[in-house]
Amino acid sequence: MTMTTLTVNDTDLTDPRTFLAPGTELAEMWARFRAESPVHWHEVHGRAVPGFWVLSRYDDVLNVYRDNKRFTSERGNVLTTLLEGGDSAAGKMLAVTDGHRHRELRNILLKAFAPRVLQPVVAGVRERAERLVRHAVENGECDFAQDVAEHIPMATIADLLGVPPGDRDYLLSLTKEALSTEEQGQSAEEALVARNELLYYFSELAGERREDPRDDVVSVLATSVIDGEPLTEQEIIFNCYSVIIGGDETSRLSMICGMRALMEHPEQWRRLKSGEADVDTAVEEVLRWVSPAMHFGRRALEDVEVGGRTVRAGDVVTLWNSSANHDAAVFTDPGTFDLGRTPNKHLSFGYGPHFCPGAFLGRAELSALLTALRTHVAEAVPAGPARPIHSNFLHGYSSLPVFLRPAS
């Protein structure tokens, strides 16, 4: 049975296989949610967990993102942890902390991610993207996911965190295992082991930075205080984990999916190549089109009316960026990949108090990649099938073989 024959009630958003359908079928699925059941109660079958709310319209998603009084992130912010009853990092990691502690932690991290501070890092991003694309063009054929996109955000985040070069491939493999479970055969136990190994790694690195602080994010966290007290070891390692997961996965997947979208829409590639489409607007459209983090979630703290339905205190509410970013009430002709689209108020970085602190850097990485492609590539065509990742949270590909013809 194809996706197009499924009703809204038949669609299982907890199953990663649902998101392996072709893009047109997923777009039709989300259009049905927005039209038929925009605030939808989703039952969970076969597991002893409660159901959850699915918000698919832009305005509803935006309103819950901005409301940190009646909705909390401290009991999980993605479907998996929300259904399991909570997140072990709650109250310690920025993404799953609210209130005063959230504001103080965010201020600490925003200092490390300020555009002024990141200027030398961005210069390194441009050099790295240029070198990787040029090398891929010289080879003629590459796996764009593994040979190009993997190495830009991970190296950048590792620079920010102060991770030694020799550890970076190891951290990349742990990052992919920890969150995206890229192959169907990978287990939840493997993901848990990878997460624990990441946390242990940063515990060791934070200990070193306490004794010998340097100009990096780990040192900032290891030497910062809130209300006169140093951050706890758990706060330090959980926020290092948050930076590496958030900074690597979404940027990497945006690059991979952006490359695939350019191959699927050659007229848009021509617009980018000719300069008709500006790189900055192209970045925003890639982020909207891809929506690498398909959803985030909250738990209601009190009874709230959303879209004419009553969300009860304690209910899990999921906010689907991949639907909101294609809502025709906000985006003209949302099913068209348009690199010149403006305005483009997508929600790929979230919104409100939990807006992604690394948004500036994520945009800079994607901009550097598109600039390098525009400079060095005349044409890109698929060299084999793309391999999608297996996730109900992240959208993208673990492999994308391409032929690259050099620009004259």
DSSP code string of 203-227: HHHHHHHHHS--SSHHHHHHH-EET
Distance set, CA 116 to CA 50, 110, 113, 386 (Å): 45, 11, 8, 37
pLDDT digits (tens, 9 = 90+) for 159-189: 888 888 888 888 878 887 876 555 555 567 8
Residue 406 lies in a domain: no
| Cα–Cα distance measured from residue 175 to residue 373, given in angstroms and rounded to the nearest whole number | 26
| pLDDT, mean of residues 39-47 | 93
Does some domain include residue 98?
yes
Indicate whether 228 belongs to any domain: yes
Question: Would you say residue 100 has pLDDT above 90?
Answer: yes
Distance set, CA 146 to CA 52, 297, 395, 401 (Å): 35, 30, 16, 9
Q: Is residue 404 part of a domain?
A: no
343: three-class secondary structure by DSSP:
coil
Query: What range defines the domain where residue 299 resides?
Result: 3-399
First to last CA, the chain: 47
Radius of gyration of the chain (CA): 21
pLDDT tens for residues 253-307?
A: 999 999 999 999 999 999 999 999 999 999 999 999 999 999 999 999 999 999 9
| 262, 282 Cβ separation under 8 angstroms | no
Q: Number of structural domains, the chain?
A: 1
| Total Cβ atoms within 10 A of residue 360 | 15
Is position 407 within any domain?
Answer: no
Banded model confidence at residue 158, pLDDT cuts 50, 70, 90: confident
CA angle 193-195-199, nearest 5°?
A: 115
pLDDT at 190: 85
Percent of the chain with pLDDT over 90: 78
Q: What are phi and psi of 283, to 5 degrees?
A: -55, -45
Helix axes 151-161, 168-179, angle to 10 degrees: 110
Domain for residue 405, yes or no?
A: no
Contact assessment for residue 3 and residue 23, using Cβ atoms and an 8 Å cutoff: no
State which amino acid sits at residue 47: R
Answer left, alpha or beta for residue 17, where phi above 0 means left and psi between -120 and 50 means alpha.
alpha
Q: What is the CATH number of the domain that holds 49?
A: 1.10.630.10
pLDDT of 326-371, one tens digit each? 999 999 999 999 999 999 999 999 999 999 999 999 999 999 999 9
pLDDT for the residue numbered 7: 86
110 found inside a domain: yes
The answer to whether residue 118 is domain-embedded is yes
pLDDT of the residue at 3: 45
pLDDT of residue 297: 98
